[in-house]
Amino acid sequence: MTTIQHAPSAVRIGPTVSRAEAPPNRRRGGDIRVLLSPTSVGSTAGFMGTLTLEPGEIVTEHWHPYSEEFLYCQSGDVLVTLNGEERRLTAESAVHIPIGVKHRIVNDSTTTAFFVFLCGPLAPRPELGHVDTELPPGVR
């Protein structure tokens, strides 16, 4: 058996990040918490976080011009709309959202839904990461 030796890395290893310490972002709906990002850990390829959607909550429609998104539903049952196509995303299932695909998430069930998401590659600047196509919840 061959053992592969790797050269020691001079790269700084970022901190461990607790979800409880990550501030919630409710601008697009739900409780979105970015855990691993360029700001929190110095990542250069993407960012990762969680989404909690209570019954009746939505994440408004938007799309990513630079990033694809990987969305894993750990618990719950929601309706996801991808470029107008509706589909169910249930507990322990995942969906890939390619660059440029409009997406919206609606918790139309009676239970809380919890997700883990990853987006990458990063946009050149954070403000270029999302394009909203729907007004935020409560703004009509």
Checking if the pLDDT of 140 tops 70, the result is: no
pLDDT attached to residue 13: 84
| Report field, pTM of the whole predicted structure over 0.85 | yes
Provide the Cα torsion 109, 56, 18, 99; round to 10°.
Answer: 90
pLDDT digits (tens, 9 = 90+) for 45-74: 999 999 999 999 999 999 999 999 999 999
Beta strands in 17-67 (DSSP E): 31-36, 47-53, 58-63
Amino acid letter, residue 27? R
**Residue 50 and residue 5: Cα distance in Å, rounded?**
35
Q: Which residues contact 91 (CB under 8 A, 6 or more apart)?
A: 73, 74, 75, 76, 77
Rounded to an integer, what distance in angstroms lies between the CA atom of residue 72 and that of residue 119?
Answer: 12
* Mean of all residue pLDDT scores within the chain: 93
Instruction: Name all domains of the chain by residue range, CATH numbers in brackets.
Output: 36-132 (2.60.120.10)
Strands 77-82 and 103-106: antiparallel
User: In this predicted model, what pLDDT tens digit does every residue of 69-124 receive, in sequence order?
Assistant: 999 999 999 999 999 999 999 999 999 999 999 999 999 999 999 999 999 999 99
Spatial distance between the Cα atoms of 120 and 67, rounded to a whole number of angstroms: 5
Q: Can you name the residues that pair with 114 across neighbouring β-strands?
A: 52, 75
